[in-house]
Structure 1
């Protein structure tokens, strides 16, 4: 007889990652020889720039392969401080900086360090799939606020004010957004900041991972920069994964009050210990080295965004807003709900839409319910123009065949 282990209450509250599940299924179908187009993963198709790879190789050859301080080497913390000063007009000391094995770990460490039972975290929806699950794992309560297409998927000040209670511990603010690509202007951030100033018990966790991927001359701002009165209760999070095409290197970082950073370090002391030493040295080069490749990355993503928005808006039953940043589009398929696919399956919801599209046309995308806003879906356009053009052909064919 095999013993049946009793799992924790925390793990029973958490759902698997829908984005990872979609990518895994697409890869399995590809291994079976099927011609699948995967538009689920939020991962740049560009290679890590050569100067960054060279820095990693150099670190290996110089023997920089040992344990480091739990939350980052001094050289990387100094580079992060310089980045915040240079690009965001924010002044931090190395003692205010945390380096973790990916942006996801930054968020998890912050929640583990701060959340108690009954603490609430306000999360605008659509949201990145991991936000509410990490809050639940840490014992907190996610409070989602629906932000629909009429507001360009952005949180309005009156919505934020209504969502805050005496139990609110954090607001998560992600700009540009995963999954929508929507980015907050300076004026929009100031309006949210005015609400937060009136609620001094609420802390702000701003996820700026897509900061460098904004288009059409959009001027990027982060909330502690816009409203200095929030500096002492803001954790400003970023990382090298998206802008520098370093997803597999697993380096995220954040800056905030020393007490919070120290508590996050304590979590790391007893969990992961340090991020990969080699990745840290590569990240020093990413932040301190040439940024000449970024305009090329942005131009390619902007052209792809334009192509996808135009093509999706020409598709029967779809409506796709034009996002300000990231590498996602987030169309609505609400008008197709209730129609019938050629297979005879009724499109009952966005999950069925995504499932039937994958089965019939071999296009993998992530359904909107996973992001907290049904009737929608997310496409990652971080892949080649040729692949995206073929994906549009298949999506248009599928939608036209619904009856």
Structure 2
């Protein structure tokens, strides 16, 4: 039972909260964010290494397209599943970037990639169905599973495997109750990227389970620093297409987090059911945002590449800085704008700090560094470090960590 619900009940003892909400825990991300903001307002110099969004402005051509849409009076309802022109832009993106071909009725525009994930789980999952989630994982995955009243089966990855799910682990987690497997590459929170070989091995397992649906969360697709081109599960196992839903959006690669545009691509029958659900919840995403997203997907990726180059340089800066701190272990980020350093030895060295949640508070109060505790991502003893911050901030943060734990 979270504090928010207890506060509400105290104010109104007659209010009964549905279990689907009462079971949800307070987000550590928002808790750290709120505490860091409060300390900043008190005049503290807090280094924000907790951000889950790019620290860049939305590229000007995208903003100009939105302004033009406003000038053209484009402010009315659109089809629930998105503008036809936006769907065409998604089709173009999938063909150009992924060599995948989808029809218009196989695409759904959503209010961010999170809603695409929510729609899919609410459409596919029944109580007691199982959803396999590789850990560490983005905290929203199990939360949506709880709302769907499904059972989460954690598929643990190991540091020594680069936080990459192994095929034998996946097979051990699958059963006749399994309905969904989630794959996320580049990964939040680890910053690791699945190779074609790793995905192929997982695909060979999934082919043996015809009732299992794959949700491929590709939101960090373009933020990749490896020499090998990006691949998702359909890149290496196209025969899974009739039971795979690709989930993506413009938030991360195009610095459009506040525009709230995501999309899903998958079997037309599933897309139709997801659209039916969406029609009774949010309806369509904002008309102006759809026009902006269309421009993003159709336009040049020069601005995206500039961001990627910056993120790559920051990833190298962070990896180099962390490698000099004996009590912290970390795989260099291969994509996204996160890495997941192991702070277990640091926790053991500090009096009155017993876990990563307490460490998050200690880092804020003692060092002025905001990072998200790893337990928010099923990675206790770790901290997620975001390098969606300028290089001077990162150097300052690494220097503070070095002086404290070096």
Does TM, scored on the shorter chain, surpass 0.5?
Answer: yes
Residue aligning to 2:267: 257
Is 1:310 aligned with 2:338?
no
Cα distance in 2 between the residues matched to 1:218 and 1:19: 31
In structure 2, which of residues 12, 23, 45 is the aligned counterpart of residue 13 of structure 1? Answer: 23
Is 1:398 aligned with 2:398?
no
Cα distance in 1 between the residues matched to 2:236 and 2:12: 58
Cα distance in 2 between the residues matched to 1:134 and 1:160: 21
Further displaced range: 12-21 or 270-279: 12-21
Q: Describe the SS at the equivalent of 2:282.
A: coil
Is 1:23 aligned with 2:33?
yes
Cα distance in 2 between the residues matched to 1:207 and 1:236: 6
Further displaced range: 246-255 or 293-302: 293-302
Q: Is this contact kept in 1: 2:66–2:288, CA < 8 A? A: yes
Residue aligning to 2:341: 331
In structure 2, which of residues 379, 384, 388 is the aligned counterpart of residue 382 of structure 1? Answer: 388
Cα distance in 2 between the residues matched to 1:152 and 1:346: 31
Q: Describe the SS at the equivalent of 1:213.
A: coil
Q: Describe the SS at the equivalent of 2:384.
A: strand
Q: What are the equivalent positions in structure 2 for 1:80-91 lying under 5 Å apart?
A: 80-91=90-101
Q: Is this contact kept in 2: 1:76–1:280, CA < 8 A? A: yes
Q: Describe the SS at the equivalent of 1:133.
A: helix
Cα distance in 2 between the residues matched to 1:122 and 1:55: 40
Q: Is this contact kept in 2: 1:146–1:373, CA < 8 A? A: no
Deviation, 1:113, is 1.1
Residue aligning to 2:7: none
Q: Describe the SS at the equivalent of 2:264.
A: strand
Residue aligning to 2:160: 150
Cα distance in 2 between the residues matched to 1:108 and 1:120: 15
Is 1:175 aligned with 2:175?
no
Deviation, 1:213, is 0.7
In structure 1, which of residues 130, 136, 139 is the aligned counterpart of residue 146 of structure 2? Answer: 136
Deviation, 1:3, is 4.3
Residue aligning to 1:279: 289
Cα distance in 1 between the residues matched to 2:180 and 2:12: 42
Q: What are the equivalent positions in structure 2 for 1:4-403 lying under 5 Å apart?
A: 4-340=14-350, 345-400=351-406
Deviation, 1:261, is 0.6
- Structure 1, unmatched stretches of 5+, are none
Q: Is this contact kept in 1: 2:226–2:335, CA < 8 A? A: no
- Structure 2, unmatched stretches of 5+, are 1-10
**What TM-score, normalized to structure 1?**
0.96
Q: Is this contact kept in 1: 2:32–2:360, CA < 8 A? A: no
Q: 1:161-194 deviations in whole A, cap 9, x for unaligned? A: 0000111000000000000111101111110000
Q: Is this contact kept in 2: 1:218–1:324, CA < 8 A? A: no
Cα distance in 2 between the residues matched to 1:245 and 1:328: 15
Cα distance in 1 between the residues matched to 2:127 and 2:200: 31
Cα distance in 1 between the residues matched to 2:29 and 2:195: 27
Cα distance in 2 between the residues matched to 1:138 and 1:346: 38
**What TM-score, normalized to structure 2?**
0.95
Q: Describe the SS at the equivalent of 2:165.
A: coil
Q: 1:137-171 deviations in whole A, cap 9, x for unaligned? A: 11111111111211101100000000001110000
Q: 1:116-140 deviations in whole A, cap 9, x for unaligned? A: 1001110000000110001101111
Deviation, 1:2, is 4.2
Cα distance in 2 between the residues matched to 1:25 and 1:258: 44
Q: 1:236-259 deviations in whole A, cap 9, x for unaligned? A: 011100100001101111100111
Count residues in correspondence. Answer: 396
Q: Describe the SS at the equivalent of 1:99.
A: strand
